[in-house]
Every structure is written in structure tokens, then in C-alpha cells.
């Protein structure tokens, strides 16, 4: 009697996505896919889609393209988000190959919007025989607009499969001790390189419409959990720690306080040496490299601030990879 074959496991790291280039049409294609998702924009389709196609997609691609162009090639070649996510997957694959799991899962990476798609990478993993797949949405804090959309895309791809793999999805990890320790150490290491002593640390998270939170999205509570744990970990390292939300889109009320308002308020209060970090992003992207590091730096200095610096995201640093290794090992228990 033949012994059963060992299960073949796949790991798929997933981040938000990025345009392929910074030109109008590349950015438009990306924004169309992103902003067409009913999880991202919860307005009625009959109302939102004409606005999207007739107004937003005729004006926003040029503006967003300029923002992307300002940070293109900042980390590796092309999109920083793509470069970092690819590097994270490569280091995870090397860690797996070194025998740290006792098994040899196959590691891939994909994007929720844009390329390479989740469906493409699931096809690749199943084609090589993976019958168990761990999906890792690289979002520390859960939101229906991010983590849930990854699940949507995964299950949409599985609908087309006759033979479906078993699945696990890494849950959000807003106050996981390894994640908080990695954030705190990244701040300390970065602060040690500065020519000034920070008097304030601003912890900025991506925003969310207030109406989404009112309907039960747990995102604001999870951001608060991250902020509270990080502030406690850094209690002896920084004088004042504040929290805010960035990247507001449209005219509706979003989670407050807004980052742009906060950096100006801090400057007007006499805070001269500001450091900002964005722990909700597992990889640097246009929201951190352009919005936080360029746009908000201008707001701070214009309001009277002097020294301003942005802590890099965890990316594929030693601290960042320690979080990924930890969560992968934890979630694969029983499979490896």
C-alpha cells in the first residue's frame, strides 16, 4: 500500500497594488479597478459609477500620476510597493528554504489591484500542486476595504476551479507583540540616525470614511490598539505621541484627526522636531513616500515647524521580516 504523499503548501503574500507606470492611462487602469470595488466605495453603483467614469477617472489619474512619479524608483526599480513586496517574498522564500518551517512551502506574491493578480498567483500555486494555501494580506489592521477585499478576490478565483485548495487567511495583527516590538525598534534605530532630538512622534494610519466605521468596520479600534501598544513601548523614547489618519478622499467625513491638520497644529503649538511613522503600511508606497514624507513635510514647515522626518515602513528590514516569519510560522501550524 502506497503511503500518502506529503501535502504541498503555498504561501501568497498580498498587498494593495500599484499602477504599472506613472502615465495617465496606466494610473487610470489601476484607479478604475481599485475604485470600482464596492468594498472600497460603498455608494450605490448607479450613483458612483457615473461619477467615477465621467469625473474621477478624467481628472485624478494625472494628479495621482505626478505623485507616483515623485517616488518612482525610490526603492529599487519602478513602484516602491511592488519592489518591497517582491523583496519580502524573496526573503520569506529563502527563510523557508533554510528549513525554518520543517517543510518547504512555495512562496508567491501578488496584488489585490493591478498586477500580478491574486487569481494569476493562485493559478500558479495550484498548477504546481499546492493543495493547501496560506493567504497573507499585508494589512496589520483589519478593514472591509482592505483585508476583506483580499478574501473576495481569493474566493472569486476559487469559483472557477474544479479542484480547490484548502485555505487559511492570516488574520490582522494590530497589537501582536512581535509586530509592536518591530515597530518600536524601527523607531529607535531611525531616531538614532537623526541630527535632532524628536519632541513628537505622530503615528499616522490610512483613513476610512466615518460612515464605514459607524456601520461596524473594526478598523478604527484596531488602529487605536496599535497606537496604544506602540506608545507604551516607546514611553521612554519620545516625549509626546499623537495619532492621526491620512489619505482622505472625497467630501465625506473620514476618521479624525486628519494627518495634514495634525502636523500643522503641532507646528503652531511650538513643536519643532517632528517624526512621523505609518505602521498601517507593511511596505512604503505613495501614501508614505509622497503624502507623508513630501506633502506633510511642507505643511509642517509652512506652519512653523523646523525638523521633520519619516520613519521608513517595516518593509523587508530585519524587523519587518521577523513579523512575517512569526505570523507565517504561527498560521501554518498543523500543516507543516
Query: pLDDT tens for residues 175-223?
Result: 999 999 999 999 999 999 999 999 999 999 999 999 999 999 999 999 9
Q: What is the DSSP letter of 291?
A: I
The Cβ-side half-sphere exposure at 32, using a 13 Å CA radius, reads 12
Angle among Cα 133, 334, 86 to the nearest 5 degrees reads: 35
Strand partners, 106: 10
- Please state the length of the chain: 336
- pLDDT given at position 1: 45
Residue 169, pLDDT score: 98
Which CATH code is given to the segment(s) 9-173+319-331?
Answer: 3.40.50.1400
Do residues 22 and 72 make contact, with C-beta atoms less than 8 angstroms apart?
yes
Give the pLDDT score at 336: 84
Grid cell, residue 229, equals: 501598544
- Which residues are paired to 132 by β-bridges? 9, 166
CA dist., res. 94 & res. 87, Å (int): 11
Measured CA distances, 332 to 26, 96, 254, 335 (Å): 37, 12, 36, 5
Domains 9-173+319-331 and 177-310 share a fold: yes
Between CA 318 and CA 322 the distance in angstroms is: 6
The domain segmentation of the chain, as residue ranges, is: 9-173+319-331, 177-310
206 carries a ligand binding annotation: yes
Does residue 312 sit in helix, strand or coil?
A: coil
**If phi over 0 gives left and psi between -120 and 50 gives alpha, with beta otherwise, what is residue 334?**
left
- For the domain made up of 177-310, give the CATH fold: Rossmann fold (3.40.50)
How many secondary structure helices (H) and strands (E) does the chain include? 13, 8
Residue 169 φ/ψ, nearest 5 degrees: -120, 125
Closest residue by Cα to residue 279 from 326, 319, 252: 319
Helix or strand holding residue 169 (H, E): strand 166-169
Query: Residue 29: its pLDDT value, please?
Result: 98
The ranges of the chain with pLDDT < 70 are: 1-5
Inter-CA distances, 118 with 14, 121, 123, 157, Å: 8, 5, 9, 8
Mean pLDDT, the chain, whole residue set: 96
Q: For the sheet with 166-169, list strands across it.
A: 106-113, 9-17, 132-137, 166-169
Residue 136 · residue 13 · CB < 8 Å: yes
Q: 4's torsion region: left (phi>0), alpha (psi -120 to 50) or beta? A: beta
Q: What is residue 5's predicted lDDT score, i.e. its pLDDT? A: 61
What sections of the chain are H helices per DSSP?
24-35, 45-51, 57-71, 80-97, 118-127, 147-158, 177-191, 210-214, 219-233, 259-268, 286, 296-302, 318-331
Integer Cα distance of 212 and 333 in angstroms: 34
Annotation-wise, does 287 bind a ligand? yes
Amino acid at each position: 500500500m502506497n503511503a500518502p504523499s506529503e501535502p504541498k503548501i503555498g504561501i501568497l503574500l498580498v498587498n494593495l497594488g500599484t499602477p504599472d507606470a506613472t502615465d495617465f492611462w496606466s494610473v487610470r487602469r489601476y484607479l478604475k479597478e481599485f475604485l470600482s470595488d464596492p468594498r472600497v466605495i460603498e455608494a450605490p453603483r448607479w450613483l458612483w459609477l457615473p461619477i467615477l467614469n465621467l469625473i474621477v477617472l478624467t481628472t485624478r489619474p494625472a494628479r495621482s500620476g505626478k505623485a507616483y512619479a515623485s517616488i518612482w524608483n525610490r526603492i529599487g526599480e519602478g513602484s516602491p510597493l511592488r519592489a518591497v513586496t517582491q523583496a519580502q517574498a524573496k526573503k520569506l522564500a529563502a527563510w523557508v528554504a533554510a528549513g525554518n518551517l520543517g517543510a518547504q512551502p512555495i512562496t508567491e506574491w501578488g496584488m489585490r489591484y493591478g498586477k500580478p493578480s491574486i487569481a494569476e498567483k493562485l493559478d500558479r500555486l495550484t498548477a504546481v500542486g499546492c493543495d493547501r494555501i496560506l493567504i497573507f494580506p499585508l494589512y496589520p489592521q483589519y478593514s472591509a476595504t482592505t483585508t476583506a477585499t483580499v478574501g473576495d478576490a481569493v474566493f472569486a478565483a476559487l469559483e472557477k476551479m474544479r479542484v480547490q485548495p484548502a485555505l487559511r487567511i492570516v488574520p490582522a495583527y494590530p497589537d501582536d507583540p512581535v509586530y509592536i516590538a518591530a515597530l518600536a525598534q524601527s523607531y529607535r534605530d531611525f531616531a538614532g540616525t537623526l541630527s535632532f532630538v524628536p519632541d513628537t512622534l505622530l503615528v499616522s494610519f490610512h483613513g476610512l470614511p466615518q460612515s464605514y466605521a459607524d456601520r461596524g468596520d473594526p478598523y478604527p479600534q484596531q488602529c487605536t490598539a496599535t497606537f496604544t501598544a506602540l506608545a507604551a513601548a516607546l514611553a521612554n523614547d519620545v516625549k509626546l505621541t499623537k495619532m492621526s489618519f491620512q489619505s482622505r478622499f472625497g467630501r465625506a467625513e473620514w476618521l479624525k484627526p486628519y494627518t495634514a491638520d495634525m502636523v500643522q497644529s503641532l507646528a503652531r503649538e511650538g513643536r519643532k522636531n517632528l517624526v512621523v511613522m505609518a505602521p498601517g503600511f507593511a511596505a512604503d508606497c505613495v501614501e508614505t513616500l509622497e503624502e507623508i514624507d513630501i506633502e506633510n513635510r511642507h505643511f509642517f514647515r509652512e506652519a512653523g515647524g523646523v525638523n521633520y522626518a519619516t520613519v521608513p515602513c517595516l518593509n523587508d528590514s530585519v524587523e519587518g521580516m521577523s513579523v512575517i516569519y512569526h505570523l507565517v510560522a504561527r498560521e501554518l501550524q498543523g500543516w507543516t
